[in-house]
């Protein structure tokens, strides 16, 4: 029986991890298990580069806790046959500061399936983590999370879509139904008339919005509006700057919609939202806009007003607004005309160990706020 060894991975094994990860992602793309939207989300950072140093998660403030960037399985020939990446993040819950250990890129060769189960159990029982989570599960990994006692977040198998311009969307629907692309393109002309009837039914938001990369101010706004009854990501100035500074600078230079926008209500209350633009559809003709994170004064402002503000910021530069509701935002079908799109699998799971001082997974999942921007 072959021998296996589980070890933390470091800079020395990056050259081996890259090819293994590429092979695993290619195998995933050829079979069932990829949930999400237009194409494989799992390919993210690895699809266009041979530089896999991002796996080391360098510069992450939570890495000071001494948790390795992940663990690998080697067989008796020394080859990597399994891996799981770790991404620690700080969270807040009441007066507590928690360490959530996110999992990403969990892949195991079929020959090491049992060792892969052991690898995953080791991850869930890391003594330095208060809880474990992932927001990128699929039909392969989701059942394993559930088998080990984790619980999926409500509504994590869907996104909510608000169609802002119908021409590109009607063309995409026609292509998916087998209509020739040349004929489907004619439907672009139907967009403006359809939009007059079917556009989102929101009123003017009444919010003043502007780009913002004042990290201290954004962090202060997040702290003022934090809900202590929920487990929310720590949005310190240091964390916000590390995660979004490059994105905001690139957006300013390129003129894209990407970035953080601070808004102010007539009452003086402040909040902010984070959006990212990307192309969708079979031919990339649909200009998508993702709402990745939101901080707002819940007691004095409806979430629908924030959505209206996002639509106003987008103007004529987006066709579809996508929102992944992790149960924290209260989105539902029909809100401003939103339509729910279901994925093949639940994407977000959370696990808490007995004795962690946290609610058990079934009670933790409904109060866990894992926005896309902070998830792994």
Classify each residue of 305-320 as buried b or exposed e, where b means 16 or more C-beta atoms within 10 Å of its C-beta. Answer: bbbbbbbebbeeebbb
**CATH 3.90.226.10 matches 159-164+200-342:** no
> For residue range 166-203, what is the model confidence (pLDDT) as tens digits?
988 888 888 777 666 554 454 455 545 444 334 555 56
The Cα–Cα gap between 157 and 170 comes to: 24
The reported pLDDT for the residue numbered 201 is 54
Q: What is the pTM of this model?
A: 0.85
The reported pLDDT for the residue numbered 257 is 97
The Cα–Cα gap between 256 and 356 comes to: 43
Which pair of tokens denotes residue 76?
């008796």
- The secondary structure of residue 331, as a DSSP letter, is -
The Cα–Cα gap between 257 and 248 comes to: 9
Report the side by side order of strands in the sheet with 259-264: 208-211, 259-264, 270-280, 286-295, 320-323, 158-163, 339-342
The reported pLDDT for the residue numbered 31 is 60
Residues 6 or more apart in contact with residue 257 via CB below 8 angstroms: 251, 275, 276, 277, 289, 313, 314, 317, 318
Phi-psi region of 109 (alpha: psi -120 to 50; beta: other; left: phi over 0): beta
> For residue range 211-239, what is the model confidence (pLDDT) as tens digits?
999 999 999 999 999 999 999 999 999 99
The reported pLDDT for the residue numbered 147 is 96
Tell me which residues of the chain have a pLDDT lower than 70.
1-2, 29-50, 178-203, 325-327
CATH topology of domain 5-156: Aminopeptidase (3.40.630)
The reported pLDDT for the residue numbered 178 is 66
The reported pLDDT for the residue numbered 256 is 96
Helix ranges (H only) for the chain are 14-29, 113-124, 141-147, 166-176, 181-186, 191-198, 215-224, 237-254, 303-314, 361-364
The SS3 call for residue 97 is strand
The reported pLDDT for the residue numbered 375 is 82
CA neighbor of 56 nearest in space, from 88, 91, 103, 10: 10
CA neighbor of 3 nearest in space, from 75, 80, 101, 105: 75
Counting Cα atoms < 13 Å in the Cβ hemisphere of 128 gives 15
Our CA angle for 259, 260, 262, nearest 5°, is 150
The reported pLDDT for the residue numbered 245 is 96
Residue with tokens 């402002």: 301
Q: Where are the domains of the chain?
A: 5-156, 159-164+200-342
> For residue range 75-109, what is the model confidence (pLDDT) as tens digits?
999 999 999 999 999 999 999 999 999 999 999 99
């Amino acid at each position: 029986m072959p021998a296996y060894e589980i070890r933390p991975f470091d800079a020395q094994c990056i050259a081996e991890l890259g090819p293994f990860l590429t092979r695993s992602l290619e195998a995933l793309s050829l079979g069932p298990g990829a949930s999400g939207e237009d194409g494989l989300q799992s390919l993210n950072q690895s699809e266009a580069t041979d530089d896999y140093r991002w796996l080391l998660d360098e510069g992450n403030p939570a890495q000071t806790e001494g948790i390795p960037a992940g663990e690998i399985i080697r067989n008796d020939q020394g080859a990597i046959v399994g891996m799981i990446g770790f991404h620690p993040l700080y969270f807040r819950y009441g007066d507590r500061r928690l360490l959530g250990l996110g999992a990403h890129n969990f892949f195991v060769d079929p020959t090491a399936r049992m060792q892969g189960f052991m690898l995953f159990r080791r991850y869930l029982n890391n003594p330095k983590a208060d809880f474990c989570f992932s927001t990128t599960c699929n039909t392969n990994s989701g059942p394993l999370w559930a088998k080990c006692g984790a619980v999926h977040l409500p509504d994590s198998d869907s996104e909510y879509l608000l169609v802002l311009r119908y021409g590109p969307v009607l063309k995409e629907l026609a292509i998916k139904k087998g209509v020739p692309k040349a004929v489907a393109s004619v439907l672009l002309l139907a967009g403006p008339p359809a939009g007059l009837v079917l556009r989102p039914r929101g009123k003017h938001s009444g919010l003043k919005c502007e780009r913002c990369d004042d990290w201290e101010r954004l962090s202060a706004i997040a702290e003022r509006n934090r809900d202590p009854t929920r487990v929310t990501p720590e949005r310190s100035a240091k964390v916000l700057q590390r995660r979004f500074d490059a994105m905001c600078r690139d957006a300013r230079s390129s003129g894209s919609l990407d970035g953080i926008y601070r808004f102010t209500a007539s009452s003086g209350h402040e909040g902010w939202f984070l959006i990212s633009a990307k192309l969708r559809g079979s031919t990339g003709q649909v200009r998508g806009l993702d709402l990745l994170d939101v901080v707002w004064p819940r007691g004095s402002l409806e979430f629908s007003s924030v959505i209206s503000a996002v639509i106003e910021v987008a103007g004529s530069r987006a066709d579809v607004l996508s929102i992944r509701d992790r149960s924290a935002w209260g989105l539902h079908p029909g809100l401003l005309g939103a339509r729910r799109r279901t994925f093949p699998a639940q994407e977000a799971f959370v696990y808490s160990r007995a004795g962690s001082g946290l609610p058990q997974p079934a009670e933790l999942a409904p109060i866990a706020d894992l926005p896309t921007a902070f998830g792994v």
